[in-house]
Structure formats: C-alpha cells, structure tokens
Amino acid sequence: MSVAIGSDHAGFNLKEFVRKHLESKNIDIIDFGTADEQSTDYPDYAVKVGRAVAEKEAAWGIVICGTGIGVSIVANKLKGIRAALCCSEYMAEMARKHNDANVLAMGGRTTSPDIAKRIADIFLSTDFEGGKHSVRVGKIHSLTKR
C-alpha cells in the first residue's frame, strides 16, 4: 500500500509529522512536497497527490494546507477522486465507510498532530461499507461524466 502525501507551506509541519508516523508503521510514502515553510501554492501539491491516486500510482492520498479546504477543493476536481476534509476521527471513519474517500484532506492550522495521526490511522484502516453507499458514490461519479 502506497500513500501519496503533499502539502503547501501551511501544511508542511503536519505533513512531516504524519509522513514520519506512517513511515514508522512501514507504510510506503510518495512525498510530493513541499519541502519547507516557504510560501507556495496549495493547488500545485494537491493536484500531484490527486493524480497519483487517480492513476493508481498510490492507493491513497493525503493533502494538507492551512485549513484543508483548498487542497480538498483541488483534489476533488480530478476524475475518480473523492477527497474528504476530516477534522475528527469520526469524520475519517465516515469518509471511508460511507463515502469511500480515497484522499484525506487535513488542516495544518486547524488540526493538532496527535488528532491528525489518529485521523490518518483510521482513514487508512477503515473499509467502505458498500451497499446503499455504493449507489450514492455512483451518483457522484455519474455527475462528473456530464
């Protein structure tokens, strides 16, 4: 299982924290940057992560900016991507069980490292429930075809 990860400057510290946490669990990480806290543009990183997931280079994506809002908007522009902005463990669980989210978005200025670590762990280990939720997810993707 590979996880693509990327952030802008506002998400850099949280990205590094989450990356190291996942690497400590022997999860293979593809890090698309950014590499420091110098001001940069979040769409550049969110699109790289989203493309890696859409093209199956990675099974999952994690995108981080100041609030998580900008990166989630960008990632959701890509076909096949279901990015979910999660601020709690419950949201991470539901994003997987009900929405089959394949990209996790978080805010470096809004979510503590400890909560982010737990959100990432839940996101990466929770299965989609399928059933009626498959019908709903299918309706999302039928919209992107129009």
Q: Which residues are catalytic?
A: 65, 98
Print the SS3 string covering the chain: CEEEEEECHHHHHHHHHHHHHHHHCCCEEEECCCCCCCCCCHHHHHHHHHHHHHCCCCCEEEEEECCCHHHHHHHCCCCCCCEEECCCHHHHHHHHHCCCCCEEEEECCCCCHHHHHHHHHHHHHCCCCCCHHHHHHHHHHHHHCC
Binding of residue 70 to ligand RB5 (CB under 6 A): yes
- Count residues contacting ligand RB5 (CB under 6 A)? 8
Exactly one of 8, 76, 103, 104 binds ligand RB5 (CB under 6 A); that residue is 8
Exactly one of 65, 75, 85, 91 binds ligand RB5 (CB under 6 A); that residue is 65
Binding of residue 42 to ligand RB5 (CB under 6 A): yes
Exactly one of 3, 5, 10, 85 binds ligand RB5 (CB under 6 A); that residue is 10
Q: How far is the CB of 66 from ligand RB5 (least distance, A)?
A: 3
Q: Which residues bind ligand RB5 (CB under 6 A)?
A: 8, 10, 42, 65-67, 69-70
